[in-house]
């Protein structure tokens, strides 16, 4: 770890690209930013959880929090970048598929299955002991087998509902698992040029798929939100970024394009402002038509900027130790935060989450603390050891080539 840290510091000082086989702290910080946005959305905005008086300074300040739900899109971009990089670096390995899926299994499935078992069990116990109303947590769930097979997003699209509050967030995990079935095949069997063309094509087709669904089924706003072809633009923008940043000529172009980045950032921020003020709700047609792609392109630009200007303000921001620590805990935090919040509010205040007084604020802070505490314990005693088990198998290569990004980080 010391060697990697020294190498990264040297790379930053020399304005060079990070070593792709080393741990890149900015990516942990980006993941931490993504989960922070999701927590803000579910703790303050959804419902709405917190509603300041219209027209006040606080209400105007919270306009930007209307887009915190797009933290999931930032996760998608980051996942595309990391997983795409792993697959590209290992594409010539003899045991390419076996190693990739073994590592993905140990990173994702055990924790996920634990949550699927323990969260409903805790809910049942709480209902019997405290005789409180928890219907807001478990109403409208899909059939159990769709969660076990990572097909809950198909059920949600067909039923035109996001499902129960406790398991609703798993739609994004289903998208990523389906993406993991497709991308390894493309990287393994397509040429570099064909892969690049297909990635760009997929990015362009995603908003077309969403718009087609909106026209074909105007009343179904869930399908464009939860289906892989409709959200592939964010994932594939991450893959595109990892392809380009692995080539020195493109890294050099990005490093020297300060004016380009400034112009693009200004344009993208203006677009985000319009979305935040006028079309912020994730199920509105404008947001679903072009908004998802606009947001994803913004996040991909931020990622590229952070990794090509690592000594700049953006790079330093994502290297913040608090964000990096939060990024380490992101997976478990994402899976359990809604359940923990709902249980705390129901047990203490006997109502769904809402911050409308001091008691609500204290409950929200307490549930956030408990979520992060459980996630910390999970990481230290459960997740990190599972990842270590997965990485007992290594890629065997026919040719010398760089290995993937840090295994823990890619998880």
Structure confidence by residue, pLDDT tens digits, 212-251:
999 999 889 999 999 999 999 999 999 999 999 998 888 8
- With a cut of 70, list the residues of the chain below it in pLDDT: 1-22, 46-64, 129-136, 397-411
Residues 6+ apart with CB under 8 A from 55: none
Beta strands in 96-193 (DSSP E): none
Residues 6+ apart with CB under 8 A from 252: none
CA distance 361 to 356: 8
Provide the pLDDT for residue 52.
Answer: 55
User: Helix, strand, coil % (nearest 5) of the chain?
Assistant: 75, 0, 25
How far does Cα 1 stand from its chain's mean position?
26
Buried (b) or exposed (e) across 345-368, using 16+ Cβ within 10 A?
bbebbeebbbbeeeebeebbeebb
Provide the pLDDT for residue 14.
Answer: 41
Distances (CA, A) of 124 to 119, 164, 165, 343: 9, 15, 15, 11
Interaxial angle between packed helices 292-308 and 25-40, expressed in degrees from 0 to 180 and rounded to the nearest 10: 150
Distances (CA, A) of 142 to 10, 85, 151, 216: 51, 34, 10, 24
**Tens digit of each residue's pLDDT (9 = 90 or more) over 22-53:** 678 999 999 999 999 999 998 877 654 555 55
Buried (b) or exposed (e) across 369-386, using 16+ Cβ within 10 A?
ebbbebbeebbeeebeeb
CA distance 187 to 231: 19
Torsion sign across C-alpha atoms 410, 109, 183, 100: positive
Dihedral in degrees, nearest 10, Cα atoms 312, 294, 226, 405: -30
**Judging by beta carbons within 10 Å of its beta carbon (0-12, 13-18, 19+), is residue 180 exposed, middle or buried?**
middle
What one-character-per-residue DSSP string does 375-401 give? HHHHIIIIIHHHHHHHTTS---BSS--
């Amino acid at each position: 770890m010391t060697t990697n840290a020294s190498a990264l510091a040297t790379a930053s000082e020399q304005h060079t690209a990070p070593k792709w086989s080393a741990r890149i702290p900015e990516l942990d910080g980006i993941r931490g930013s993504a989960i922070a946005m999701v927590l803000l959305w579910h703790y303050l905005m959804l419902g709405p959880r917190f509603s300041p008086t219209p027209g006040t300074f606080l209400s105007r300040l919270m306009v930007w929090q209307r887009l915190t739900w797009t933290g999931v899109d930032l996760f998608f971009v980051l996942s595309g970048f990391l997983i795409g990089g792993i697959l590209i670096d290992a594409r010539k390995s003899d045991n390419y598929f076996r190693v990739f899926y073994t590592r993905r299994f140990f990173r994702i499935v055990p924790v996920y299955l634990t949550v699927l078992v323990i969260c409903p069990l805790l809910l049942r116990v709480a209902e019997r002991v405290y005789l409180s109303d928890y219907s807001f947590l478990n109403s409208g769930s899909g059939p159990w087998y769709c969660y076990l097979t990572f097909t809950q997003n198909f059920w949600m699209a067909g039923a035109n509902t996001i499902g129960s509050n406790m398991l609703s967030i798993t739609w994004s995990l289903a998208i990523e698992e389906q993406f993991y079935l497709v991308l390894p095949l493309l990287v393994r069997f397509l040429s570099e040029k064909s892969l690049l063309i297909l990635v760009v094509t997929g990015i362009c087709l995603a908003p077309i798929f969403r718009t087609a669904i909106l026209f074909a089924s105007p009343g179904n706003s869930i399908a464009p939100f939860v289906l892989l072809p409709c959200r592939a633009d964010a994932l594939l923008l991450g893959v595109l970024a990892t392809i380009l940043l692995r080539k020195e000529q493109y890294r050099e172009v990005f490093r020297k394009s300060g004016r380009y980045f400034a112009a693009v950032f200004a344009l993208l921020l203006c677009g985000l402002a319009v979305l935040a003020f006028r079309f912020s709700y994730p199920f509105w047609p404008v947001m679903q038509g072009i908004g998802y792609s606009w947001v994803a392109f913004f996040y991909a630009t931020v990622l590229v900027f952070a990794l090509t200007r690592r000594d700049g303000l953006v790079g330093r921001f994502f290297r913040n130790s608090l964000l990096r620590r939060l990024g380490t805990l992101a997976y478990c935090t994402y899976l359990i935060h809604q359940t923990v919040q709902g249980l705390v509010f129901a047990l203490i205040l006997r109502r769904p989450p809402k911050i409308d007084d001091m008691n609500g604020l204290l409950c929200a802070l307490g549930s956030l603390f408990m979520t992060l505490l459980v996630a910390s314990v999970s990481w230290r005693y459960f997740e990190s050891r599972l990842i270590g088990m997965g990485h007992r198998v290594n890629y065997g290569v026919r040719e010398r080539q760089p290995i993937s990004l840090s295994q823990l980080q890619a998880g």
